[in-house]
Structure 1
Amino acid sequence: MLIGRVGYLITEYYLSDAGACPKCGEKIPGIWHSSRADVRIGAPELWWTRAPREA
């Protein structure tokens, strides 16, 4: 699995900074963050709660 989700919440993210699979290097089509550090991963305790939108 490259990206795990619960609804809109990202629970796991394993794409490289180039938007590719870290094991085989295959580029995944899409618009990705330029750095894995910019991806917000939701903690399990937040999976079923709602958070306010950021402005």
Structure 2
Amino acid sequence: MGGRLMRSPSVDLDIRKTKFKKVGLFLKAMQDEGFVEVTEPKSGVLMLNHINKDHIE
């Protein structure tokens, strides 16, 4: 059958201990850097539409 997916090591991340404090702020910052595309279908709700896997960094 197909190849096996390799599981990456478990990483705990508390977004509240970062400069972003909220996931939405992080996603908007990553969009500004060109890593992702995000839309806001309704106020306060973000939808991740695209991840740019070809980004330089």
Q: Same fold (TM over 0.5)?
A: no
Higher relative contact order (CA 8 A, sep 6+): 1
Structure ID, larger Rg = 2
- Normalising by structure 1, what TM-score? 0.27
Higher helix proportion (structure 1 or 2): 2
Higher strand proportion (structure 1 or 2): 2
